[in-house]
Structure 1
Amino acid sequence: MRRLPPRPWRSVSGLLALILVAAIGLLGFASPASAHGGLAMSTPAANATVSEPLTAVQLYFTEQVVPTAFFAIAAPGGGRVDNGWTHGTPRQLDQPVREYFLVDGKFEPREYTTGFPAVVTVAHLPAVGRYTVSYLSVASDGEPVRGTMSFRYTGPVTAAPQGWSPPTNQPDPALVAAAEQHGHDGQASQPPAAPSGSASPAVAVPMPAVEDNGPPGWAWAAGAVAIMLALVGLVAWRRHPAAVGAVFGRARASRKTARRPDTRSRPGARKSRTPGRTGTPGRAGSPGRTGSPGRTDTSRRAAADVSAVHDVAPAAAARLSNPRLALLVGGLVVALLAGFGLGRLGAGERSGVSGTRPSAASGQLAGGSAASAGDGHRHAPGTGAHTHPGDGPDQAQAAGAWVSAAGYTLQPVQRSQQPGVRADYRFRIVGADRQPATRFAIVHEKPLHLIVVGRDLGGYQHLHPSMAADGTWSVPLELARPGGYRVYADFSVIAPDGTQLPLVLGVDHHVPGGYTPAALPPVQPQATVGPYTVTMAGTPTVGVSAPITFRVGRTGDSGPVRPEPYLGAYGHLVVVREGDLGYVHVHPEPELADGVVTFWLTAPSVGRYRAFLDFQVDGTVHTVQYTIDLS
C-alpha cells in the first residue's frame, strides 16, 4: 500500500483557521458602546475653557430627561452654584449619535440627530477653575442616565444673586430607586423577560453615548480581517494555482472516484477481464491471484486518483511553506490585532461624549456586595479619584457588609480582646478551596488595608498588617473602649488565572466591658488635628457623583498647607454609614488644585455617615473626622 507523503499544508490551514476563529471571537466580544438617552453634547463643550461669564449650561440628551431629573453644578471649591433647571428647545446635534438596543439577543443601531436640552441655570461664578455638572435621570426603557461633565472657567468672578443660598436638595427618592433598579454605572442590566414568541424589548447598553463618526470600531476590525483573508486567498491562487487546486480539490476528487467507475486506463491499475478476479492484496494489478474480497479494480482506480492528487500536494505544500507564506500569515496576524485594536480605540475615542471628569474614575460610594465589586483596585499608583470595591450606589447594601464574598472568607483567629490591651489581631483570607490565600496585589503601596471602626462610628484606625508564609495576617491592635467594632479587610487578591479580584470583607470584633455608645458629633465643615485645621467643602448627593474637597491649613493661619503623598495619594477618605456600617475607601485625584485635595463621592442612600480623612504633612500622618447628614 502506498504511503501517503506528509502534508505540511494541514498545519498551515489549521493555523489560518485558528486565526479566523480568534478573530470571530474577539469581534464577537467587542460589543458596541452606547447609552440610551445619554448625553450627546453640551454648551459649553466638555473640557472646554470658558473666558466669559455664563448664566446657564445646556446639556443635550438623545431623548428628553424626566421631569424629576436632578442636576447640580459644583464650583472649584466644591460648593454648588446651580439654581434650578428647565427643558430647552430641541435642536439638531452637531454630530449624529448612534445608540444600540438589544433586540432578540442582537444589538441593533439607532441614529439620533436631535438633541433635547436640559438648561441648568448658573447662579454665579465664585472662582476661576473647573466647574462640574452632575446629572441623574432615567431613560424611557428604565436605564439610568447619569454622569458628569466639566469645563474650566478663566473669566471674572461674578456675585451671587441677592438672597440666594447654595442649594442642598437631594434627588427625588423615586428617581434614585428607579435608576438603581436597572443596575449601576457602566454595567449592562439584564433585559426584562419577554413572553414566548414575542420580541424582546429594546434595551440600551448603559455606556456613554457614541458620536457617529463613521462605522463602529468593531466594523472596521471585521473589514480588516475580511480584506486580509481575501488577499491571502488571491495571492495563494495567483502564485500557486496547483497547490490551491490540490488542497481544495482533494476531497472532491476522492468523492468523484468513489461514486462512479473510471474506465480510463492508468499505469499500475488494470481492468479485470474475468468477473470476480482480483489482484494480490497490497499489490495493485497482479492478475491471476486471489486477493481480499471486495478489493476491485474500481477501488484501486479510486486510490490511484487520490494518489495522483497527493503526488501534486507535496511539491505544492513545500512551496506553500516557504518564507512568503510565513510572511502572509504573520501579516494576517498583525492586521487582525491592529484592526481589532483600532476598532476598540476608535470606539473609545468616540465614547465619553458626556465629558467625564479628567483623570477621575467613577467616584461613587461603594454599593452592592463585594462579590460584584467593580474595578476599584485595578489601577496603577497615581490613578485618579476613585472608590474601592462595589463602585456604583446601592440602597440595600454597602461594601464590607459580608464576611464572605466571591468565594473568599475573612477568618479571624480571635473575635475579642480586653480593653486597653495591645494584642496581635490575626486573621486569614480563605479561598473556596479552604486554603489561605497568599497572593495579593500591591494597592496603594500595601497588599492589604485593615480598617477598624466602632459601631458608634468612633475608634477609627487604618492599619497595614503583615502576612506570614502560611497566609496568616497579623497587626498590633489596641482598643481603648468596650463595645462592638467592625473590622474591614480591603485588598485585591490574585486569582489562580492571574486576574486581580478587589474585595472588602468585614467581620465583627468585641471588646468586653460596660458599653456606652457615643453620640454622633454634629455636622461641621472644619475639623482640627494637632496644629492643622482641615476644611471640607462640597455637597454629598444620593445617587449622583459630587466633588468633595479638603483644604489643609495651620490653625490660626489663613495660608494653605500642602499635603504630602501618603500611600500613593494625597489623602485617603473612608466613609462609614451609620447603622449597617456600610463602607467605602475613596482615593483623590492625582493632582492638587490650588492645594486642595478633591474626592468624588456618590452616597448610596439617605442617612448619616462618618467620614475619616488620612493625610500626611512633614512625614506624619494625621486623621480628621466629619459627620455627613443626608437624612
Structure 2
Amino acid sequence: MNFSSRFTLRRRALAAAGTAATLALTLAACGSSGDSSSMPGMDHGGTSSAASSPRATASTDDMPGMDHAAGGNGLSGNQDGYRLTSSDRSLAAGKQAAYRFAVAGPDGKPVTRFAVDQTKRMHFYAIRSDLTGFQHLHPTMAADGTWSAGLASLTPGSWRMFASFTPDSGAGKGKDFVLGRTVTVPGGATRTPLPAAAGSTQVDGYTVTVKGEPMAGMAHPLTVSVAKDGKPVTDLQPYLDTYAHLTAFHEGDTAFAHLHPTTKVNGDHGGPDLSFHAELPTAGNWRLFLQFRTGGTLHTAALTLRVG
C-alpha cells in the first residue's frame, strides 16, 4: 500500500471516530436533561408532595442541605457546610418564649457577620405543622453569634423554626440560606384543616385578592390587590423596604418559599396592586402569608393558593 492510500484510510478512521464521539455526547446530553418533578414540594394540598419526591421525604433537621429553591426551603438544618444549631427542642405552650439558636459555618465556628436583606440581618419564621400560628420575627444577636427570637404564645404541636440569612464573610458570603429545625410544644394538639384555595381573604377590614395562575417549577408573576370598603387602597406604607412581604409554606412538610416583590417603593403611597415574582417548584396547595402596613399598623393576611 502506497503512502497516499495509507493517508486516505487514516483520515476515514479519524472521521468515523469523531462521528462516534459526537453521537455518544449527544446521547449523554439527552439522558441528563433536568426533571423539575424531582424538586421538593411546596404542596399545600391534602396529599403531600413528599410522598412523590424521595429528596423531600428524606429531609430532616440533621441531613445536609437540600436547596431546591432560591435560598433553600428550610427542610434541613444543614446546607453547604452551614448548620443551624439550637439546644431548644421543646418550648412551653400558652406563653411567650425565647427561641435561641446560632448558625455554624463550614469551619464549625458561629457566624457573626451577616448581610442586610430587606433591612434585617436575620429573618426568622415559626409555623405549626398544620400551617397555623405563623410568626415572622427579626431576632437579636449576641456578640458570640447566639440569636434570640421572642416568640408569641405557641399552641401544642410540632413547629418548624426557619432562619433566613446571607453570610457577609466566609465561603458562603453573598449566598442566601434558609435553614430549619423542628420544635415540640407539649400538650394536646388539635389539627386545624387547611382552608380551601381561594382568590381573596379579609383581615382587619381589608380585602386582599391574589391574581395569577402559577405553574409548578416555572417563574410566574403574581399580583396582589388590597382594598377596603370596596375601594382600592393607595396608602400602603413601606415594610422591610417593600409594600408587602409574602411567604408561602407547603402543607405536609412545611417547606418554605419567599415570593420576591417587584413593585418599587414610593413613600406612603403603595397599592392597590403589588407585583411578586413567584417560582414554586411543585404543584398543590400553598398557604400564603401577606404582611403589609397602613397607618403604622402591620396586618397579616393568609390564604390558600393552588399551584398547577
Q: What one-letter code is carried by the residue in structure 1 that aligns with 2:207?
A: T
Matched, 1:604 2:277: no
Q: What one-letter code is carried by the residue in structure 1 that aligns with 2:252?
A: G
For 2:274 and 2:163, how far apart are their aligned partners in 1?
25
For 2:37 and 2:90, how far apart are their aligned partners in 1?
39
Matched, 1:595 2:269: no
Please name the residue that 1:481 is paired with.
155
CA drift of 1:433 comes to 2.6
CA drift of 1:141 comes to 4.1
Q: 2:215 aligns with which of 515, 518, 541?
A: 541
2:199/2:305 contact within 8 Å kept: no
CA drift of 1:509 comes to 1.0
For 1:622 and 1:388, how far apart are their aligned partners in 2?
26
Please name the residue that 2:231 is paired with.
558
For 1:508 and 1:478, how far apart are their aligned partners in 2?
17
Cα deviation 1:197-234 (Å, max 9, x = unaligned): xxxxxxxxxxxxxxxxxxxxxxxxxxxxxxxxxxxxxx
For 2:141 and 2:183, how far apart are their aligned partners in 1?
20
Q: What one-letter code is carried by the residue in structure 2 that aligns with 1:389?
A: G
1:549/1:599 contact within 8 Å kept: yes
Give the superposed CA RMSD: 2.8
Q: Helix, strand or coil for the counterpart of 2:36?
A: helix
Please name the residue that 1:82 is paired with.
none
For 2:200 and 2:171, how far apart are their aligned partners in 1?
47
1:528/1:534 contact within 8 Å kept: yes
Describe how 1:464-475 pairs up with structure 2 within 5 A.
464-475=138-149
CA drift of 1:560 comes to 2.9
Gaps of 5+ in 2: 1-20, 23-28, 40-54
Q: What one-letter code is carried by the residue in structure 2 that aligns with 1:587?
A: H
Gaps of 5+ in 1: 1-102, 105-139, 145-177, 184-366, 375-386, 391-398
CA drift of 1:510 comes to 1.0
Q: What one-letter code is carried by the residue in structure 1 that aligns with 2:71?
A: P
Please name the residue that 1:318 is paired with.
none
Matched, 1:512 2:186: yes
- Normalised by the length of structure 2, the TM-score is 0.75
Cα deviation 1:435-483 (Å, max 9, x = unaligned): 2110111111000000111100111000000000011101211233110
Cα 1:414–1:549 change in 2 (3 A) is: same
- Normalised by the length of structure 1, the TM-score is 0.38
* Structure with more strand by fraction: 2
- Number of aligned positions between the proteins: 257
2:115/2:167 contact within 8 Å kept: yes
Cα deviation 1:10-55 (Å, max 9, x = unaligned): xxxxxxxxxxxxxxxxxxxxxxxxxxxxxxxxxxxxxxxxxxxxxx
Q: 1:434 aligns with which of 108, 113, 138?
A: 108
Cα deviation 1:548-582 (Å, max 9, x = unaligned): 1111111x232333422211112111111111211
Describe how 1:331-342 pairs up with structure 2 within 5 A.
none
Q: Helix, strand or coil for the counterpart of 2:292?
A: strand
Q: 2:251 aligns with which of 545, 564, 578?
A: 578
Describe how 1:328-477 pairs up with structure 2 within 5 A.
371=65, 388-390=70-72, 399-477=73-151
For 2:95 and 2:289, how far apart are their aligned partners in 1?
24
2:236/2:271 contact within 8 Å kept: no
Please name the residue that 2:7 is paired with.
none
1:371/1:503 contact within 8 Å kept: no
1:388/1:586 contact within 8 Å kept: no
1:400/1:583 contact within 8 Å kept: yes
For 2:77 and 2:172, how far apart are their aligned partners in 1?
23
Q: Helix, strand or coil for the counterpart of 2:166?
A: strand
CA drift of 1:617 comes to 1.4
1:571/1:587 contact within 8 Å kept: no
For 2:37 and 2:227, how far apart are their aligned partners in 1?
43
2:120/2:138 contact within 8 Å kept: yes
Q: What one-letter code is carried by the residue in structure 2 that aligns with 1:520?
A: L
For 2:216 and 2:274, how far apart are their aligned partners in 1?
21
For 1:594 and 1:422, how far apart are their aligned partners in 2?
34
